[in-house]
Amino acid sequence: MPSATEWEVDLGYIRLRGLKVKRDKAKHTVIALHGYLDNANSMIGLNQSFPNDDFIALDFAGHGKSEHRPEGCHYNQLDYVQDLHQLINALSLDKVILVGHSLGGIIASTYAALYPSVVIVLINIDSFGPLTKPANTSAKQLRDALHSRSKKMNVKKSKKADLALASAARARKTDLQESLCRFILERNIRLNTSGEQFWASDPRLVTQSLLRLTEEQAENIMTRIICPTLVIASSTSVKQMDRVFQVRRGWVSQANLVLIDGGHHLHLEKHEETVFNITEFIRQL
């Protein structure tokens, strides 16, 4: 099996990076989109499900090895959809397979709805469309976001990295074992000229988004997804995607659900089972 290599694309306004597995006579290109505060490391192993396709595991802007947004800018969720659109155009792709975990699934679902002629297969891992909030929370959302962002309007120097401490801290806060946390976080580290380790991820990533969609808006978007869609949901994740799927399954004409006994990062924790289910889904198309 081909090994993954470093990859990058210049979109003009930002340079995005990631990992790519290139295959001879590839049928399609798969673009894998990671979750919030993760990076390409968390997705690259899923290339095993696509032995006949090129596979790109992307670092979102501000994550992993990708460039940060300019000073004074922040990270609006829908801007990632714009980045994905520019990426697909830059690579001259007319047909793609999108695989997304968590935040990546939200971005993948949204893009599949907006460009149904481009996305031929959609696979979401513990994610099924946008997170929503009622319209009557809009003012509070905006106020909270402004307060959150005001603390990070000026981009500060990167902090020194302690991978062991960070991995242990993340493991305590999540349902992911420490070794897997370390595997993800390794890609968020850069070295300076003296060989010291610093965090490469943008500190502005932890600020709040300005405004979430309403459930009505989410429905309007998701009903436009027409490609075969697989949702692999965790049985124990706080996201409760099995419940969300039951509510939204009527919005997506070809939606299928697989429930796996694992946490939110089940594609890492239950990697072989996740790869098997994706492979079987693709095989049956």
- For residue 155, pLDDT over 70 is answered with no
pLDDT tens, position by position, 180-208: 999 999 999 888 777 788 889 998 999 99
pLDDT tens, position by position, 216-234: 999 999 999 999 999 999 9
Give the pLDDT of residue 161.
85
- For residue 1, pLDDT over 70 is answered with no
Ramachandran quadrant class, 114 (left: phi over 0; alpha: psi -120 to 50; beta: rest): alpha
Please give the Cα distance from 218 to 252 (Å, whole number).
Answer: 11
C-beta of residue 109 within 8 angstroms of C-beta of residue 241: no
* Assigned fold of 5-155+202-283: Rossmann fold (3.40.50)
Give the pLDDT of residue 144.
95
Query: Which H or E element spans position 190?
Result: strand 189-191
pLDDT tens, position by position, 247-279: 999 999 999 999 999 899 999 999 999 999 999
Mean pLDDT over 118-140 rounds to: 97
Q: For the chain, which residues make up each domain, given as ranges?
A: 5-155+202-283
Mean pLDDT over 118-132 rounds to: 97
Please give the Cα distance from 118 to 165 (Å, whole number).
Answer: 42
- For residue 157, pLDDT over 70 is answered with no
- Written as six digits, the tokens of 239 are 């996201």
The closest of 211, 215, 77 to 140, measured between CA atoms, is 211
Please give the Cα distance from 175 to 265 (Å, whole number).
Answer: 8
C-beta of residue 275 within 8 angstroms of C-beta of residue 49: yes
> If you search the block for the tokens 């470093």, which residue do you land on?
6
The closest of 156, 53, 33, 150 to 99, measured between CA atoms, is 33
Strands 189-191 and 197-199: antiparallel
- For residue 136, pLDDT over 70 is answered with yes
